[in-house]
Amino acid sequence: MRQHEKLRRRRDRQAGFTLLELLVVLVILGLLAAVAVPQVLNYLGGAKTDAARLQVQQLGSTLDLYRLDAGRYPTQEEGLGVLVERPSDAESWNGPYVKKQDMLIDPWGRPFVYRFPGEHGAYDLYSLGADGEDGGEDEDQDVVSW
């Protein structure tokens, strides 16, 4: 009998979780995820808009620096590419003004829109937001330089 009790005690110590306990834990994790994931996605969308706003400000300062060196803003035809690569007709170009072409791309993977002459200032620089279309609200709102 003692041998049988020792085996049973060893089995009891090695026993794991039951299927019911595992299911309860999975349900609890699912409920937590259902509450947390929308908040995280909302935060991520706001972070992209904030990043775009900072990029527009930085590119605006870079365009001003280009103007100081070249005596003018880039033309519509040249676009923002002149901040990375020297244009053929630029005599006083002291660039590159941005390190990589990727810096001319908004957080949603689209190039920033540059208009010269601008409707709201010397130039217009903006991102169309998450939806890639004019206007919008929240994450879809345009991020503009004016």
Find the helix or strand (DSSP H, E) in which 29 lies: helix 19-70
Q: What is the pLDDT of residue 37?
A: 81
Q: Is 108 within 8 Å of 48 (Cβ atoms)? A: yes
Q: Is 106 within 8 Å of 114 (Cβ atoms)? A: no
Summarize pLDDT for 23-46 with one digit per residue, the tens.
Answer: 999 999 988 888 888 777 766 667
CA distances from 22 to 14, 32, 116, 145 (A): 16, 15, 62, 53
pLDDT for residue 4 is more than 80: no
Q: Mean pLDDT of all residues in the chain?
A: 87
Q: Is 115 within 8 Å of 121 (Cβ atoms)? A: no
Q: What is the pLDDT of residue 5?
A: 75
How far is it, in rounded angstroms, from Cα 38 to Cα 30? Answer: 13
| CA 142 to mean position of chain CA atoms | 14
Q: pTM of the prediction?
A: 0.68
Q: What is the pLDDT of residue 10?
A: 65
How far is it, in rounded angstroms, from Cα 21 to Cα 132? Answer: 47
Mean pLDDT in residue range 90-112 = 91
